[in-house]
């Protein structure tokens, strides 16, 4: 099994290889067709079609192995369309600047500001040295907004990070995982990648069952520590399991709450199979959920002001609190 993150991003479904201008038009046409089927208003549909061509054109200009998929989705029973653009390029160096329209207008990330403006929701996953994945969505009727942003970089000098993250959405919930493989480098990533895959392999399964599945998947690896969170989008109720040192913080008007983790390691070894406790919590309206690998110093936390751009927060946390002796990854979920 390859640990390359683009393989997870592009698993399943039909993918369009972005090879030339015709591919960009094709991405646009796919959005028009699926958008019409989903009942998107004309202006919404055209905006998402333009977002798709901005993302595809950006891949054509700047990325390696750019791929685009367009899929029907639902949110709370409301039909929508999702455009996914994934590449194995160097990772957008400054996604916050790209969204704000700063930095080299011609560089990788130039299409992100357009996608941000034109889509109703935007998830961004940026891994330094490994690639970028953007997911832009629009719906037939207004839905409560939720967005996921991940920013990760390896131990300085390594090519591959030992930290990994994955998420999967269903109609009413979002399941997110951050996984830290023991040590760093390719062997750490081999552990974190299989564990992350297993943790989001069954979006509706009970969290302890997913942890058991991940424990089995980790057999033969160095092992990994995890945080796994399911956020129910309508109620903002949270279920959480933490094994080892991946911190989960909830930020909101009432301050910061840290969810409790238990000691443990997912390794596939029987004596390390922990009895897993699931914690319950709730995210406040306009609150923010952070999952932070231990490559971020413990001073890292949510800002007191509301978060405008989740990826800007993730990038800022890694830049300001990332240890230069470890991989570092921050995952941010913003609702409302």
Q: Which residues bind Mn ion (CB under 5 A)?
A: 180, 294-295, 326
Q: How far is the CB of 329 from Mn ion (least distance, A)?
A: 8
**CB–CB of 244/265 below 8 Å?**
yes
Q: How far is the CB of 246 from Mn ion (least distance, A)?
A: 9
Q: Which is nearer to Mn ion, 164 or 294 (CB)?
A: 294
Q: Please state, as a whole number, how many other Cβ atoms lie within 10 Å of the Cβ of residue 258.
A: 13
**CB–CB of 251/288 below 8 Å?**
yes
Q: How far is the CB of 48 from Mn ion (least distance, A)?
A: 37
Element (H, E) at 315: helix 310-321
Q: How far is the CB of 84 from Mn ion (least distance, A)?
A: 28
Q: Which is nearer to Mn ion, 264 or 295 (CB)?
A: 295
**CB–CB of 128/91 below 8 Å?**
yes
Q: Which is nearer to Mn ion, 87 or 294 (CB)?
A: 294
**CB–CB of 15/75 below 8 Å?**
no
Helix/strand/coil (H, E, C) string of 192-229?
HHHHHHHHCCCCCCCHHHHHHHHHHHCCCCCCEEEEEE
Q: Please state, as a whole number, how many other Cβ atoms lie within 10 Å of the Cβ of residue 82.
A: 22
Q: Which is nearer to Mn ion, 123 or 326 (CB)?
A: 326
Q: Which is nearer to Mn ion, 152 or 251 (CB)?
A: 152
Give bridge partners of residue 334 from the DSSP assignment: 147, 288
Q: How far is the CB of 45 from Mn ion (least distance, A)?
A: 43
């Amino acid at each position: 099994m390859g640990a390359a993150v683009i393989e997870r991003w592009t698993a399943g479904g039909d993918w369009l290889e972005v090879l030339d201008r015709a591919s960009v038009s094709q991405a646009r046409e796919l959005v028009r067709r699926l958008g019409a089927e989903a009942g998107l208003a004309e202006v919404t549909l055209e905006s998402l079609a333009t977002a798709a061509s901005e993302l595809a054109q950006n891949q054509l200009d700047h990325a390696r192995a750019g791929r685009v998929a367009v899929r029907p989705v639902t949110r709370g029973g409301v039909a929508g369309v999702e455009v996914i653009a994934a590449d194995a390029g160097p990772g957008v160096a400054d996604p916050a600047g790209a969204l704000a329209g700063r930095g080299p207008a011609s560089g990788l990330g130039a299409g992100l500001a357009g996608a941000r403006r034109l889509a109703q929701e935007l998830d961004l996953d940026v891994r330094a040295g490994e690639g970028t994945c953007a997911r832009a969505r629009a719906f037939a009727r207004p839905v409560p907004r939720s967005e996921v942003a991940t920013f990760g970089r390896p131990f300085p000098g390594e090519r591959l990070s030992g930290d990994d993250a994955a998420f999967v959405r269903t109609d009413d919930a979002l399941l997110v995982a951050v996984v830290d493989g023991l040590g760093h480098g390719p062997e750490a990533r081999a552990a974190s990648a299989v564990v992350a895959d297993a943790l989001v392999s069954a979006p509706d399964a009970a969290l302890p069952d997913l942890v058991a599945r991940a424990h089995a998947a980790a057999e033969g690896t160095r092992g990994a520590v995890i945080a796994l969170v399911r956020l129910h989008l309508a109620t903002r109720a949270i279920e959480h399991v933490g094994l080892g040192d991946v911190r989960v913080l909830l930020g909101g008007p009432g301050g910061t709450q840290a969810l409790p983790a238990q000691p443990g390691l997912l390794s596939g070894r029987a004596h390390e199979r922990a009895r897993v406790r699931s914690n319950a919590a709730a995210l406040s309206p306009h609150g923010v959920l952070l999952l932070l690998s231990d490559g971020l110093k413990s001073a890292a936390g949510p800002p007191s002001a509301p978060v405008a751009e989740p990826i800007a927060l993730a990038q800022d946390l890694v830049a300001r609190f990332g240890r230069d002796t470890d991989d570092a990854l921050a995952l941010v979920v913003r609702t409302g």
